[in-house]
């Protein structure tokens, strides 16, 4: 008895191969993380040091820090 393959099988194999290639290319690309936070202005320098250390350990990841001012008990 001869096995017959559906025409869907080669299509699915090509689809999986294309997905793997696209996933591999996106891993090597640089990533940017945008960190949005509220701040009263007392800690941004310490956060920038943490971000610099993180970026040094993860050269393909850049962190953009966006702080918005607030006062205690007022949003």
- Look at residue 35 and tell me whether its pLDDT is greater than 80: yes
What is the spatial distance between Cα 12 and Cα 19, in angstroms, rounded to a whole number? 10
What phi-psi label fits residue 73: left (phi over 0), alpha (psi between -120 and 50 degrees) or beta? left
- In tens, the pLDDT along 54-74 reads 999 999 989 998 887 776 656
**What is the pTM assigned to this prediction?**
0.52
- In tens, the pLDDT along 36-54 reads 877 777 777 778 888 899 9
The arithmetic mean of pLDDT across residues 18-45, rounded, is 73
Residue 32: phi and psi, rounded to 5, are -120, 130
| Amino acid 30: pLDDT | 83
- Look at residue 75 and tell me whether its pLDDT is greater than 60: no
Indicate the DSSP class of residue 29: S
């Amino acid at each position: 008895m001869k096995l017959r393959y559906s025409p869907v099988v080669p299509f699915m194999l090509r689809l999986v191969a294309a997905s793997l290639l696209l996933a591999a290319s996106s891993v090597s690309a640089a990533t940017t993380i945008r960190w949005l936070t509220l701040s009263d202005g007392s800690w941004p320098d310490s956060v920038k040091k943490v971000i610099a250390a993180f970026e040094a350990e993860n050269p393909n990841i850049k962190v953009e820090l966006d702080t918005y001012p607030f006062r205690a008990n007022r949003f």
